[in-house]
Amino acid sequence: MSEQEEPPNQRRTATRPSTRPLMQAVAFATVYLIWGSTYLGIRVAVRTIPPFLMSGCRYLLAGGVLFAALRATGVAAPTLAQWLRSGLAGVVMLAVGNGLVTWAEQKVASNFAALLISAVPLYVALLEWLRPRGSRPPAHQLAGILVGAAGMAVLVWPDPHALAAPSAAGIVAVLISGFAWAAGTLYARYSPHHPNAVMAAAQQMIAGAVALLVIGLVRGEAGPGALSAVTWSSFLAFLYLAIFGSLVAFSAFGWLITVSTPARLSTTAFVNPVVAVILGWALLGETLASRALAGAILIVCAVVVMTVGLAPLRWLARYRYTAPPE
């Protein structure tokens, strides 16, 4: 019997239950740390590499290597229907989602882009509600959406006292990017795909890469002298993005989509920006204006409320400090 014909109950028991929590923890840690650092990597890479071609080559390399490795180990080839469904998810998540944020990081700082992307759980909750047979978010998620929307407004509202305001086009591109990533994630979760989750991730990367390369070629990014302008720092950042950001982290995320919940997947949205802000400050000297920092705090609080509920806030409200005995 081929892998595609394997009964669902057999596929679910292929991984021993005792190892599943550990594997999920490792996969989440991988996505948290590596994807938090990719904002810095993108910022360095697009200094001398055109954004859409860089992103397309990144995913084509990672997706091609992963696809070839899986086929060599006997994983069944995807059907045409599986290519179409995974391809659509890849185009939405990677060509639109990652492509736009890569382009935007030519115009906005890596930490600011990461904070805008942290609103993805808001989009996920709304799209989950609006999709056919979707469910209405519970009260704490609705509260989180409202608080997060307020944080977004504070974050992107022009600051007349700022010395260098972020590009309006860059802000819009990142907002659209986050919405596309949320839509693609939900589609990938609920649509039928290859029974091997890592193969589905490879398909998404290949399809997204083709779309990104087409966009780059149409924009004229492969003009004369494009390669000669690439610096070693940008090239090394590209390799890091391709190997770790795509091949390792995106494969882990693709597997988590099939075994975890949208709420847990959304936790990446408040861990990744923290990593991105720390790295942007430590390695690139990026800072945040006080208003942007206030908006970021609101967004992170909103995502925490949406994913873990109001229990921590209730505990803090009841907490009373007791001095230790002298």
Q: Which two tokens stand for residue 172?
A: 């819009």
Contact of 287 with 106, CB cutoff 8 Å: no
**pTM to 2 decimals?**
0.76
How many CA atoms are closer than 13 Å to the CA of 156, on its beta-carbon side?
A: 21
Higher pLDDT, 225 or 181: 181
Is the predicted pLDDT of residue 67 greater than 90, yes or no?
Answer: yes
**What was the pLDDT predicted at 160?**
56
Give 243: exposed, middle or buried? Use CB within 10 Å, 0-12, 13-18, 19+.
middle
In whole angstroms, give the CA distance from residue 86 to residue 288. Answer: 37
Q: How confident is the model at residue 209 (pLDDT cuts 50, 70, 90)?
A: very high
Treating both helix axes as pointing N-terminal to C-terminal, what angle do 110-117 and 20-45 enclose, rounded to 10 degrees?
Answer: 140
Structure tokens given for 81: 């229907």
Residue 321, pLDDT score = 46
Residue 323 pLDDT exceeds 50: no
Where helices occur in 80-223 by DSSP H, the ranges are 80-90, 99-104, 110-117, 120-130, 139-156, 168-190, 197-218
pLDDT at residue 16 tops 70: no
- The pLDDT mean for the chain works out to 80
Listed residue (108, 103, 38) closest to 276, CA to CA: 38
Contacts 24+ apart (CB under 8 A), 163-170: 166/107, 166/108, 166/109, 166/112, 167/104, 167/107, 167/108, 169/104, 169/107, 170/104, 170/105, 170/106, 170/107, 170/108, 170/113
Q: Which residue has the higher pLDDT, 280 or 317?
A: 280
Q: What is the rounded distance in angstroms from the CA atom of residue 102 to the CA atom of residue 114?
A: 11
Of the chain, the percentage scoring pLDDT greater than 90 comes to 34
Q: Is the pLDDT of residue 13 over 60?
A: no
DSSP state at residue 3? G
- Give the 3-state secondary structure percentages of the chain, helix then strand then coil, rounded to 5: 75, 0, 25
Tell me how far apart the alpha carbons of residues 74 and 54 are, in angstroms, rounded to a whole number: 31
Query: What local confidence, expressed as pLDDT, does residue 114 receive?
Result: 83
Per the rule left: phi > 0, alpha: psi between -120 and 50, beta: everything else, 136 is beta
pLDDT band at 213 (very low <50, low <70, confident <90, very high): very high
Mean pLDDT of 207-222: 94
pLDDT beyond 90 at 109: no
Question: Which has the higher per-residue pLDDT, 78 or 273?
Answer: 78
- 309-315 long-range contacts (CB < 8 A, ≥24 apart) are 309/140, 310/140, 310/143
Distance of CA 172 to the CA centre of its chain: 17
For residue 174, what are the CA distances in angstroms to 111, 137, 152?
12, 25, 12
